[in-house]
Each structure stands twice: as C-alpha cells, then as structure tokens.
Amino acid sequence: MKKYPSNPSESMMNKLFKPLRLAVTAMLFSTVLFSCSSGDGENTAATGQGESGLANQSEAPAADDGKGIGPVTSVEVGEGVDEALAAEGKTIFEGKCSACHQLSDQKIVGPGLAGITDRRKPEWIMNMVINPEEMTKKDPEAKKLLAEHLTQMTNQNISESDARALLEFLRQNDQNS
C-alpha cells in the first residue's frame, strides 16, 4: 500500500525539519514519533500506539527550552524594531491572524497578543505560527493554551520569512504599548 503525506504542510514540513527531526526524535523516548504528529491518517493499525490526544501526551514530554517545536531554532532579534519588517508583518497579521487574535489582552477566539514577546521566546512565537498543530500536541505551553481556548490554532500556511515579519510586528506592538 502506498502512503501519501496526510497533511498539506507535511511535505513542506519534512523538508524544513530534516535536520531537526533527528534531534527531536532522539529526544523522544516514547513511541510518539514525529511522523505521528499530524494525528490523522499516518498511524497504521500496527503502529497505532502513537495516537495523539491528551491521554497519551504525558508519555512524551519534549525537552522544553522554551523555544517550542518547529523549524525555528534560533532567531536574531535586533535591539530596536525593524519598522519596515514590522509593517510587512502588520499586513500579514491583518490577513491571516486578526480574525482570531486581538493586539490587546482581549481574547476573541485565541488569546490577546499584548505582551507576548515578553512571555515567550521569539523562536516559540514563530514555531507556533508556522507549526500550530504539533505545538499544541507537544509543547507544554501550547498545550495549556489549547486547553484554555479549546480551538486548535489554524495552520495558515505561513512561511518562515512571513513568521519573522509577524514576530517583528508583535515586538513593535509590545514596545509601543
């Protein structure tokens, strides 16, 4: 039987993740494999132990360096805000994020984003934007957020460079407040 990527972002993710995957997999000592992260369609009856779901999550604590899980392992952030990049981020935010997130601390569907750059590492923010499904399954902070808001953050197919621009926009939001 042939297998196809079960998730739209998976083939892309595989590419992005290749270097990271080994490290992550090595860190995981349970049967929750990286490839099972998308939850649906990947598990066969034989290897079906890796089902996602809160019940199984505790078996596989990912090492938590506060950077989250995803393609972004380190981000250079300048002292001041790169205004041009932030402006780019604003446009993306309005198109893909503002339906669910306020820039204040007010929750709509997802949490208000005021102060996020103080609460989270820049890598975490970008990984959450790019890789929301895996984050809410494995990252302890993202898991808590899902439990609180009960709506899976949508995968808006945001590229790494767009995520960087969004980060800059959120930094601007926090610095201006």
Partner 1 sequence: METLISKFKKVAPKAALLMAVAAGAALQGCNKSGGESDKAVDSDAASAVYVAPGEHDELYSFLSGGFNGQVSVYGIPSGRLLKIIPVFSQFPENGYGYNEETKPMLQTSHGFVPWDDLHHPKLSRTDGMADGRWLFVNGNNTPRVARVDLKTFETVEIMEIPNSAGNHCSPYPTNNNEYVIAGTRFSVPLDMKGGTADVSMEEYKDKFRGSISFIKVDKEDGDMELDFQVLVPGFDYDLANGGKGPSNDWVFFTTYNTEKSGTLKELGASQNDRDYLAAINWKVAAKYAAEGKAHEMPANYYHNKLDHGSFQAKSEVKKTVRYLLPEECPGMMYLIPAPKSPHGIDVDPSGEYMVVNGKLASSLPVFSFSKMQKAIENKDFDGEVNGIPVFKYESVLQGEVKEPGLGPLHTEFDGKGNAYSTMFVSSEVVKWSLKDLQVKDRIPVYYSPGHLMIPGGDTEKPYGKYLVVMNKITKDRFLPTGPELMHSAQLIDISGEKMKMLLDFPTVAEPHYAQAIQADLVAPNSVKFHKLDENTHPNAVKNEKDVSVTRNGKTVTVKMTAIRSHLTPDNIEGIQVGDTVLFHVTNLEQDWDVPHGFAVMGANNAETLIMPGATQTLRWVPKQEGVYPFYCTDFCSALHQEMQGYVRVSPKGSNVPIKFRMGEKKPVPPATASVN
Which residues 77-116 are close enough to bind partner 1 by CB under 8 A?
90, 94-96, 98-100, 103-106, 108-109, 112, 114-115
Q: Which of 31, 56, 57, 156 binds partner 1 (CB under 8 A)?
A: 156
Which residues 35-64 are close enough to bind partner 1 by CB under 8 A?
41-46, 48
Half-sphere exposure (Cβ direction) of 42: Cα atoms closer than 13 Å? 19
The answer to whether the beta carbons of residues 128 and 68 sit under 8 Å apart is: yes
The answer to whether the beta carbons of residues 47 and 34 sit under 8 Å apart is: no
Asked if 177 is part of the footprint of partner 1 (rule: CB under 8 A), the reply reads yes
Asked if 176 is part of the footprint of partner 1 (rule: CB under 8 A), the reply reads yes
Contacts of 131 (CB under 8 A, 6+ apart): 9, 13, 68, 69, 70, 71
Asked if 144 is part of the footprint of partner 1 (rule: CB under 8 A), the reply reads no
The answer to whether the beta carbons of residues 177 and 102 sit under 8 Å apart is: no
Q: Which residues bind partner 1 (CB under 8 A)?
A: 1-4, 6-9, 41-46, 48, 90, 94-96, 98-100, 103-106, 108-109, 112, 114-115, 150-152, 154-158, 169, 172-173, 176-177
